[in-house]
Amino acid sequence: MLSRIVVPLALVALLGGCVSQGKYNQEVAQVDTLSAQNKTYQALNAQLQNEIKADQVRIKQLQGRLTVTMIDEIVFSSGSAEMNAKGRETLGKIIGTLQSVPDKRIVVRGYTDNEPIGAHLRGRYPTNWELSTARASDVVRFLQAQGIDPKRLEAAGYGEYQPVAPNDTPAGRKENRRIDIVLVDMAF
């Protein structure tokens, strides 16, 4: 009777340690993807070292995505939808790295604080939503002009509706005025 119980348990334990070739290949591909993403992360950190030290740029890896966040006036002057010289210079530092990952889509996300649009821009951008979209589109146009395949580019504006800090202080509003450049798999 004991052998009838032990043999099936031993068989289950033995088979439990086996992995199908498909599962193995999937795990190897996942490790390769994470390794490539880590290499890209390290390259971006090296290229943007000064901006990271000045807390103008943040880079994070999360859930298979790599996000470069550019805070406030490093990319756009206050009340402007056109990139400033510092923004073009900063983005220029990472063009090579962005080109080196052709299997990634580049999603540019624009965000604003909740302050109303100034009178000089209100005619063109009635709300922060339009302003954030215009800023994301300006970054996309710049990346395309620098040789990034436009099929890999996407622009989205979120206005004031996804804050990362309270909008009741100047420091919080500064955190909310940002551009995210997100690298995602082309399949997503």
In this prediction, residue 2 carries a pLDDT of 44
DSSP per-residue string spanning 11-29: HHHHHHT---HHHHHHHHH
Instruction: Quote the mean pLDDT of the chain.
Output: 88
What CATH number has the domain bearing residue 120?
A: 3.30.1330.60
Within-domain flag for 130:
yes
Within-domain flag for 42:
no
Within-domain flag for 47:
no
Within-domain flag for 77:
yes
What is the domain range of residue 103? 54-177
Instruction: Check: CB of residue 186 under 8 Å from CB of residue 152.
Output: yes
Location of structure tokens 């088979």 = 15
> Could you read off the pLDDT of 135-146 as tens digits, one per residue?
999 999 999 999
Within-domain flag for 37:
no
How many distinct helices (H) and strands (E) make up the chain?
Answer: 7, 5
Confidence of residue 8 (pLDDT cuts 50, 70, 90): low
Confidence of residue 168 (pLDDT cuts 50, 70, 90): very high
> Could you read off the pLDDT of 56-100 as tens digits, one per residue?
999 999 888 999 999 978 999 888 899 999 999 999 999 999 999
Within-domain flag for 21:
no
